[in-house]
């Protein structure tokens, strides 16, 4: 999604903004631009398609010093990738950048007769022209007139030509955080652009006006009343957002998983079992729920699928997992006795946020599992279970997935305990086995050379199938997504037993099938499905446990994970699937950390 940064202060705005855009690259984009308020208070703009490095190279031509400006990385929604459509957009005395979608922009073009004025195809430029038409010298008054006209989501960073050194910002749904630091005042789409300057920051409340000057960062209502935003202390520092010798953030984050799991699990154990009192999550919330509804997107939804496969047999209450973008438009069968669990690494995914808001409208208690402190979903949920993976920079989610699983396993254990499905010893045993899955994951990560060889076997595949049953099926969903999003190979996950109902028609000689067979309870059935695809010439990569007996010739490649109980194969399996995807992407010479078309946090619909 688009990245926004604004700066005003004593330092070089060009340098700070360009560095900030580099920090925001991980959000996903296809062009970038800056606007600088020059000493003589005219606003200089520069835009480039492609990488931020293109913009940095072009910016060398700007010699004049500037102490305030705004920058933007654009993930195209309206209009193609072109310099014209790249932000910032200038309209008369207004220059702005925008993240979000103004859904009624066509209507606004007609309403304000902008057809002949527009230089771009974007909804953002429409907002700039309307704002300029309202501007009579008072930024707050003009912005206050613009907002009620807009339908959809937005975060704007705005400069007015006759207000040198001042930056204004406003948001609705799309995120913005800000900080006043020794280096000046900053506003950005997320913390990664602020963290080099400050670990204290605040979230701009929706439909409030932020005014930055070289000496302040103040928040106002549109009635002119100043409010004091809650200052948040970041739980990570700049160091965490560096590669530290790894060739990619994704590989670094795969290696960080065992530590992230310890950080997420250990502080929540009291007498050897999960305890959420420090998180402010009462046992009554778990004890009273008669069913669970999970809503999330992508990898987060896959974590929910694994949770369902665990909770239903363990706790014997129904668990429904919904894709948030579907759930938000449904009339869900939820009520005050339904615990709605929202899962989101970024805490900003717009569909997941909408699902949360729908659940609250139905009166259901909401608990979110979120990795980013102070994010919108975290702030709007009734209860929050933070994961402690640190910043996840690679677009492909790895450590965030693992810590989401850990949080959900802890919740499941506490749920079973408070509902009397576990006695204390059983809860302790479950927790110990969960912890034992972490060293098993470390063992797998040490085998990365073996896994790289597996990846190299499938570099040229056009289609790949991931199959499994039960928990292994939920893992196969994540394995297919990981591979798709960073290798661009079409990969499909299938419940192993379902393959025969049509899709097996696609299995022809050489088609790779990754079969996950760790659930011993249903192992025989899964291996039968493997035989069926093998009989049709598939290239079978079988992932199973150390001691599982596999008949000769059943698989072309076998990767074995340490021998652990079925329910706790989650972390080693996650590591295998992540590394397979990683090495295929590397082997194909692709941009592992910033794959094409993708964004780290999908804040538009
Ligand atoms: C996963 O690798 C992708 N980056 C994507 O599916 C992601 O999980 C999804 O967009 C949800 O993001 P969130 O967890 O920040 O809500």
- pLDDT at 37 exceeding the cut of 80: yes
Q: Which of 1, 302, 345 to mutate to test the pocket of ligand 1 (most atoms within 8 A of CB)?
A: 345
- The pLDDT score that the predictor gives to residue 26 is 79
pLDDT class of 82 with cuts at 50, 70, 90:
confident
Ligand 1 atom with the smallest distance to the CA of 401 is 8
Beta bridge partners of 273: 270
- The position carrying tokens 């039960």 is 470
Cis before 530 (ω within 30) = no
- pLDDT at 322 exceeding the cut of 90: yes
CA distance 60 to 208: 36
pLDDT digits (tens, 9 = 90+) for 375-429: 999 999 999 999 999 989 999 999 999 999 999 999 999 999 999 999 999 999 9
The overall average pLDDT reported for the chain is: 94
Task: Using the mean position of ligand 1's atoms as its centre, give its distance from the Cα of residue 310 in Å.
Answer: 21
Q: Which of 602, 603, 605 to mutate to test the pocket of ligand 1 (most atoms within 8 A of CB)?
A: 602
Burial class (CB in 10 A: 0-12, 13-18, 19+), 63: exposed
pLDDT class of 74 with cuts at 50, 70, 90:
confident
Rounded to an integer, the average pLDDT of 601-605 is 76
- pLDDT at 572 exceeding the cut of 90: yes
Ligand 1 atom with the smallest distance to the CA of 396 is 2
Rounded to an integer, the average pLDDT of 52-56 is 93
Three-state SS at 454? helix
pLDDT class of 142 with cuts at 50, 70, 90:
very high
pLDDT digits (tens, 9 = 90+) for 498-530: 998 999 999 999 999 999 999 999 999 999 999
Q: Which of 297, 377, 600 to mutate to test the pocket of ligand 1 (most atoms within 8 A of CB)?
A: 297
Protein residue whose Cα sits closest to atom 5 of ligand 1: 298
pLDDT class of 238 with cuts at 50, 70, 90:
confident
Task: Using the mean position of ligand 1's atoms as its centre, give its distance from the Cα of residue 394 in Å.
Answer: 11
Q: Which of 296, 397, 477, 574 to mutate to test the pocket of ligand 1 (most atoms within 8 A of CB)?
A: 397
- The pLDDT score that the predictor gives to residue 536 is 95
Ligand 1 atom with the smallest distance to the CA of 485 is 2
- The pLDDT score that the predictor gives to residue 27 is 79
pLDDT digits (tens, 9 = 90+) for 200-226: 999 999 999 999 999 999 999 999 999
Task: Using the mean position of ligand 1's atoms as its centre, give its distance from the Cα of residue 352 in Å.
Answer: 10
Task: Using the mean position of ligand 1's atoms as its centre, give its distance from the Cα of residue 69 in Å.
Answer: 31
Task: Using the mean position of ligand 1's atoms as its centre, give its distance from the Cα of residue 7 in Å.
Answer: 29
User: Over 8-68, what HEC string results?
Assistant: ECCCCHHHHHHHHHHHHHHHCCCEEEEEEEECCCCEEEEEEECCHHHHHHHHCCCCCCEEE
Active site residues: 2, 600
Lowest mean pLDDT among 14-28, 99-113, 318-332: 14-28
pLDDT class of 350 with cuts at 50, 70, 90:
very high
Protein residue whose Cα sits closest to atom 16 of ligand 1: 344
Ligand 1 atom with the smallest distance to the CA of 299 is 8
- pLDDT at 241 exceeding the cut of 90: no
Task: Using the mean position of ligand 1's atoms as its centre, give its distance from the Cα of residue 397 in Å.
Answer: 6
Sign of CA dihedral 149, 80, 396, 20: negative
- The pLDDT score that the predictor gives to residue 81 is 83
pLDDT class of 343 with cuts at 50, 70, 90:
very high
What is the C-alpha radius of gyration for the chain, rounded to an integer number of angstroms? 25
Q: What percent of the chain has pLDDT over 90?
A: 86
pLDDT digits (tens, 9 = 90+) for 481-502: 999 999 999 999 999 999 989 9
**In Å, what is the CA distance from 345 to each residue of 311, 372, 389, 396?**
21, 7, 9, 11
- pLDDT at 601 exceeding the cut of 90: no
- The pLDDT score that the predictor gives to residue 114 is 95
Strand order in the sheet with 226-227: 89-91, 94-102, 152-160, 167-172, 209-213, 216-220, 226-227
Strand order in the sheet with 31-38: 43-49, 31-38, 66-74, 3-8, 184-188, 177-181, 200-203, 232-233
Which residues contact ligand 1 via a Cβ below 6 A? 297-300, 344-346, 349, 352, 395-397, 485, 601-602
Task: Using the mean position of ligand 1's atoms as its centre, give its distance from the Cα of residue 346 in Å.
Answer: 8
Protein residue whose Cα sits closest to atom 10 of ligand 1: 298
Rounded to an integer, the average pLDDT of 153-179 is 95
pLDDT class of 374 with cuts at 50, 70, 90:
confident
pLDDT class of 1 with cuts at 50, 70, 90:
confident
Spatial contact of 541 and 465, defined as CB atoms under 8 Å apart: no
Task: Using the mean position of ligand 1's atoms as its centre, give its distance from the Cα of residue 347 in Å.
Answer: 10
Q: What percent of the chain has pLDDT over 70?
A: 100
CA distance 464 to 289: 40
Structure tokens at 523: 């192992």
Ligand 1 atom with the smallest distance to the CA of 398 is 2
Protein residue whose Cα sits closest to atom 9 of ligand 1: 298
pLDDT digits (tens, 9 = 90+) for 89-99: 999 999 999 99
Ligand 1 atom with the smallest distance to the CA of 395 is 4
Strand order in the sheet with 557-561: 490-495, 463-468, 512-517, 539-545, 557-561
Task: Using the mean position of ligand 1's atoms as its centre, give its distance from the Cα of residue 359 in Å.
Answer: 20
- pLDDT at 303 exceeding the cut of 80: yes
Rounded to an integer, the average pLDDT of 431-446 is 97
- pLDDT at 143 exceeding the cut of 80: yes
Ligand 1 atom with the smallest distance to the CA of 599 is 4
Structure tokens at 317: 């209450």
The CA-based diameter of the chain, rounded to the nearest angstrom, is 80
Three-state SS at 188? strand
Q: Which of 192, 299, 372, 483 to mutate to test the pocket of ligand 1 (most atoms within 8 A of CB)?
A: 299
Ligand 1 atom with the smallest distance to the CA of 352 is 16
CA distance 95 to 142: 13
Task: Using the mean position of ligand 1's atoms as its centre, give its distance from the Cα of residue 292 in Å.
Answer: 21
Which residue stretches of 202-297 are H helix?
Answer: 249-255, 257-265, 283-288
């Amino acid at each position: 999604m688009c990245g926004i940064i604004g700066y005003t202060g004593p330092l070089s705005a060009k340098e700070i903004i360009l560095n900030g855009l580099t920090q925001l690259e991980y959000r996903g984009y296809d062009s970038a631009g800056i606007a600088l308020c020059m000493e003589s208070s005219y606003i200089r703009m520069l835009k480039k398609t492609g990488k931020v490095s293109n913009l940095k190279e072009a910016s060398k031509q700007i010699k004049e010093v500037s102490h305030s400006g705004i920058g933007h990385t654009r993930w195209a929604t309206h209009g193609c990738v072109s310099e014209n459509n790249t932000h910032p957009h200038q309209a008369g005395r207004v220059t702005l950048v925008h993240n979000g979608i103004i859904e009624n922009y066509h209507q606004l073009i007609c309403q304000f007769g902008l057809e002949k004025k527009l230089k771009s195809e974007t909804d953002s430029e429409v907002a700039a022209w309307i704002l300029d038409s309202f501007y009579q010298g008072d930024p707050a008054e003009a912005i206050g007139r613009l907002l009620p006209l807009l339908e959809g989501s937005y975060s704007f960073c705005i400069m007015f030509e006759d207000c040198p050194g001042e930056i204004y910002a406003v948001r609705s749904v799309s995120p913005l955080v800000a900080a006043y630091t020794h280096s000046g005042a900053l506003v950005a789409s997320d913390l990664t652009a602020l963290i080099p300057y400050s670990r204290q920051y605040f979230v701009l409340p929706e439909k409030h006006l932020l005014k930055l000057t070289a000496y302040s960062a103040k928040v106002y209502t549109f009635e002119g009343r100043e409010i004091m935003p809650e200052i948040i202390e970041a739980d990570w520092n700049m160091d965490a957002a560096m590669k530290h010798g790894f060739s990619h953030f994704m590989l670094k984050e795969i290696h960080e998983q065992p530590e992230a799991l310890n950080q997420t699990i250990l502080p929540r154990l009291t007498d050897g079992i999960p305890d959420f009192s420090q998180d402010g999550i009462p046992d009554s919330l778990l004890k009273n729920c008669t069913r669970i509804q999970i809503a999330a997107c992508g990898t987060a939804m896959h974590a929910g699928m694994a949770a369902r496969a665990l909770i239903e047999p363990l706790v014997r209450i129904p668990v429904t997992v919904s894709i948030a973008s579907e759930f938000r438009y449904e009339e869900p069968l939820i009520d005050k006795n339904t615990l709605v669990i929202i899962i989101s690494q970024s805490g900003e995914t717009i569909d997941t946020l909408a699902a949360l808001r729908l659940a609250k409208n139905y009166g259901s208690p909401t608990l979110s599992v979120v990795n980013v402190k102070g994010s919108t979903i975290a702030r709007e949920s009734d209860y929050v279970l933070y994961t402690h993976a640190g910043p996840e920079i690679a677009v492909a989610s790895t450590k965030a997935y693992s810590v989401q699983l850990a949080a959900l396993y802890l919740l499941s254990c506490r749920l079973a305990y408070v509902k009397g499905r576990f006695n204390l010893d059983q809860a302790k045993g479950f927790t110990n086995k969960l912890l034992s899955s972490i060293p098993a994951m470390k063992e797998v990560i040490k085998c990365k050379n073996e896994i790289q060889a597996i990846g190299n076997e499938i570099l040229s595949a056009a289609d790949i199938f991931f199959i499994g049953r039960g928990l292994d099926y939920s893992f196969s969903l994540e394995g297919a997504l990981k591979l798709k999003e960073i290798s661009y190979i079409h990969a499909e996950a299938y419940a192993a037993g379902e393959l025969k109902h049509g899709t097996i028609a696609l299995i022809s000689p050489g088609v790779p099938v990754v079969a996950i067979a760790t659930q011993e309870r249903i192992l025989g059935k899964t291996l039968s499905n493997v035989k069926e695809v093998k009989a049709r010439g598939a290239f079978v990569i079988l992932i199973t446990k150390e001691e599982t007996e596999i008949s000769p010739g059943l698989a072309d490649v076998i990767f074995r994970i340490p021998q652990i109980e079925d329910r706790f194969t989650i972390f080693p399996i996650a590591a295998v699937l992540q590394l397979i995807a990683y090495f295929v992407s590397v082997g194909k010479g692709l941009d592992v950390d910033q794959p094409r078309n993708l964004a780290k946090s999908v804040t538009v619909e």
